[in-house]
Amino acid sequence: MNKLLDGQNILVTGGTGSLGQALVRRIFEGGYGEPERVLVFSRDEAKQHDMRTAFQRKDRATDDLIYRDHSSRLRFRIGDVRSQADLARAIDGIDMIIHAAALKQVPSCEYFPEQAIDTNCLGAINLVEALRSRPNKVQVVVGLSTDKACQPTNVMGMTKALQERILVAANLVSEGTRFVAVRYGNIVASRGSVIPLFLEQIRSGNPVTLTSEKMTRFLMPSSSAVETIFEAIKNARAGEIVVRTAPSVRMTHVVKALLRGRPIPIRITGIRPGEKLHETLITHEEAERTVRMGEFIFLAPMLPEFLDRRPQTDLTRLQTELSSNSDVLDFDETVSLMKAWQVDRWETEPA
């Protein structure tokens, strides 16, 4: 029986980012099938070079097996989602798109909101328009969103919330292509995330900087985020957003777990521009449109054209919002989580 990715031509926009690279590695492990090719699309030639050479290294005996024939199936293309022409050329012959290109640093987006709009919103519009202009139809587009898109208080979250709506509405104008999305909390050890910063500060012996002692966050490893993408490809209906349940932690507990008793001070710096104390993966209003299936929650769009929802009962529907301030792990549970994810190994081998 064919697997999910067998024979597929896959485009990953923003594929040189931390999650994009984790996704590509998982694709070439073969568990979801053997794609025809994977095209990594991004505007940074240096990151593409680094990614290409990383995939060509043969540091482990298993690499030859895992990445066999990857040099012919893994390809790279310089381009920018801000250019509809770049996207139109990149999607030629593509069956499946994972749209990961984004500006995602909260303070940067606050200071340069027009740049966040150009990439996160207009980039999605360019993708939709490029697909409408091509004779071949991409089967599915998965947009990568964030918990910051829920009740957004910062520019990054606002632009991601609009990106979700752009992709939902695209289902009404792009016949033959299914547009869906996934939402994440913080992906542990992704580029620019806080845990690598904590580890670097601990290594150097400098004070560990924390914005607030009250702050909570959803955390998940990149492997869980990647699995959510495949779940969306396989099971999400047009316009649905797939959310994977994730543990919620207090950031002071995370810092103390990483310190492991070392006499390094913690310095409270104050909330950064646009930052929340707590994040939300699903709002109270959205909870009415959810169906829980195992570890995944499927959120139906609000547009009346998508009223054909999944069968829903009080047992499958969320009864309230999904907030990082609820069901927070205690310190011992946080320590166990950090150990289970082998966070300390990132001190010498970044994920």
Please tell me the distance from the alpha carbon of residue 338 to that of residue 299, in angstroms, as a whole number: 29
The predicted pLDDT at position 1 comes to 62
Q: Where are the domains of the chain?
A: 9-347
Please tell me the distance from the alpha carbon of residue 39 to that of residue 76, in angstroms, as a whole number: 5
Report the sign of the C-alpha dihedral through residues 169, 172, 175, 180, in that order.
positive
In the chain, which stretches have pLDDT less than 70?
1, 58-71, 135-136, 189, 191-192, 344-351
Token pair 């992704």 is found at 190
pTM of the model: 0.91
CATH 3.40.50.360 is the classification of domain 9-347: no
Report the sign of the C-alpha dihedral through residues 29, 31, 32, 37, in that order.
positive
The predicted pLDDT at position 351 comes to 34
User: Which of the following is catalytic: 148, 160, 214, 234?
Assistant: 148
Q: What is the DSSP letter of 35?
A: -
Candidates 235, 225, 351, 247; CA nearest to 298 is 235
Please tell me the distance from the alpha carbon of residue 225 to that of residue 296, in angstroms, as a whole number: 11
Q: Is residue 104 a contact partner of residue 146, using CB atoms and an 8 Å limit?
A: yes
The CB-side HSE value for 97 (13 A sphere, CA atoms) comes to 31
pLDDT digits (tens, 9 = 90+) for 131-172: 998 766 899 999 999 999 999 999 999 999 999 999 999 999
Tokens of 112: 């340069």
The predicted pLDDT at position 175 comes to 82
The predicted pLDDT at position 345 comes to 57
276 is a catalytic site residue: no
Token pair 């999910």 is found at 4
Beta strand ranges found along the chain (DSSP E): 9-13, 37-42, 74-78, 96-99, 140-146, 178-184, 186-187, 208-210, 216-220, 241-244, 248-250, 266-268, 280-282, 290-293, 296-299, 322-323
Please tell me the distance from the alpha carbon of residue 82 to that of residue 192, in angstroms, as a whole number: 22
* Strand-pair partners of 90: none
Q: What is the DSSP letter of 4?
A: T
Please tell me the distance from the alpha carbon of residue 223 to that of residue 308, in angstroms, as a whole number: 31
The predicted pLDDT at position 67 comes to 46
Q: What is the DSSP letter of 121?
A: I
Candidates 139, 142, 143, 140; CA nearest to 120 is 143
The predicted pLDDT at position 310 comes to 80
The predicted pLDDT at position 174 comes to 85
